[in-house]
Amino acid sequence: MNAKLAQLRDAALAEVSAVGSMAALDQLRVQYLGRSGSISQISEGMKDLPKEERPALGRLLNEVRTAVTAALEARAAALQAERDRDALAGVDVTLPGTPVERGSLHPVTLLLDRAVSVLRRMGFAMADGPDIETEWHCFDALNTPADHPARNEQDTFFLPDGRLLRTQTSTIQIRVMEAVAPPVRIFSPGACYRRDEIDATHLAQFNQVEGLYIDEGVTLADLRDTVVAFVRGLFGEQTEVRLRPHFFPFTEPSYEIDIRSRALGDRWLELAGCGMVDPAVFEQVNRKRGDAAYDPERWTGFAFGFGIDRLAMILAGLPDIRLLVENDLRFLQQYRG
């Protein structure tokens, strides 16, 4: 039996070393190691041997099986290496590969990053809040009358449970005031939603960044200086800024922000809104908090809000705001760094 096993081993090793394909190698694997293979049959026949002969034969059989298995694996590795060499024949692997096409940030993201950088340098901290809001946070706390058009279903996306998609990021300012006592100096970027007819200047979903500063002795002069510094940080030091009286429910007095510069065509452009925080907003927050943390006799503040999409339009000279959401690669590729 020992001689038969040695002969089987030598034959298997010789066949394995001579095989020239993976398919033939797999056939040899089945022939010797498969369930009905030669080595398996000898293993099955061991039960017919005398008990005292089985251990020695078992050890020898394991040695043969190990040798054949190792030879099969080594030959498989060699055949794979040959296949790889053939595949690379005539290929200069030192040549540079095909360049990977680079993407870029969206123009709205680029501008938002720029605005965030300017506001942080001015000492403002970023705050965030939910897109789905309560009517109190979006309207009541911001001194919006019950009959204001913005509260109609024609202007606001209401959910079945009575909540709504925020129409402005001012809701974040209210949440910050609920949680933190003054002084406060924050800005709040984010998406807003309104039932606007989508056209060259309006989107149903757009982006805003708002600022809020509350402290003792904050004045309209502080508001103007802050707005001017922010605008010039975005558009350049030569940009002119003017404030036009306007009305917003949550600020008093309120202003529209207009800008003008040679780079923007040397004409006045309506840009954003701002104003001194209405004391009624402080009173709403105090009632919600259950204290007098925002005493309007002690604290004053201002707020301002910019539409990021409109800013992007102005900076890029875009004729249509819809270019920002159409994902046209011919347009977006212009913003590659």
- Three-class SS state of 304: strand
Domain 107-335, classified CATH 1.20.1630.10, yes or no: no
Residue 280 neighbours by CB distance under 10 Å: 15
The letter for the amino acid at 228 is V
Pairing relationship of beta strands 125-126 and 184-193 according to DSSP bridges: parallel
**pLDDT of 81:** 87
Closest CA to 186 of 211, 153, 152: 211
CA 213 from chain center: how many Å? 29
Mean pLDDT of the chain: 88
What does the CA dihedral 272, 215, 187, 224 come to, rounded to 10 degrees?
Answer: 30
Helix (H) or strand (E) holding 254: strand 251-260
CA distance 188 to 126: 6
Distance CA 199, CA 320 (A): 8
| DSSP code for 96 | -
DSSP structure class, residue 285: H
Distance CA 147, CA 215 (A): 32
pLDDT of residue 39 exceeding 80, the answer is no
- Between these two residues, 265 and 206, which has the higher pLDDT value? 206
268: its two tokens: 């006045």
- Range 85-95 burial, b when 16+ CB lie within 10 A, else e: eeeeeeeeeee
Q: Which residues face 206 on adjacent strands?
A: 192
* pLDDT above 80: residue 133: yes
On the question of a cis peptide bond just before residue 183, with omega within 30 degrees of 0, the verdict is yes
Spatial neighbors of 108 by CB under 8 A, at least 6 apart, are 207, 308, 309, 312, 324
Token couple for 39: 């080595």
* Segment 195-234, tens digit of pLDDT: 888 888 889 999 999 999 999 999 999 999 999 999 999 8
Q: Between 41 and 245, whose confidence is greater?
A: 245
Q: Is the pLDDT of residue 2 over 80?
A: no
Residue 1: pLDDT over 70:
no
Bigger pLDDT: 28 vs 48: 28
If 0-12 CB within 10 Å is exposed, 13-18 middle and 19+ buried, where does residue 249 land?
middle
**Total length of the chain:** 337
Sequence spans of domains, the chain: 2-88, 107-335
Report CA dihedral (44, 49, 52, 53) to the nearest 10 degrees.
Answer: -70
Which of 10-14, 98-102, 212-216 has the highest mean predicted lDDT (pLDDT)? 212-216
DSSP string, 1-20: -HHHHHHHHHHHHHHHHH--
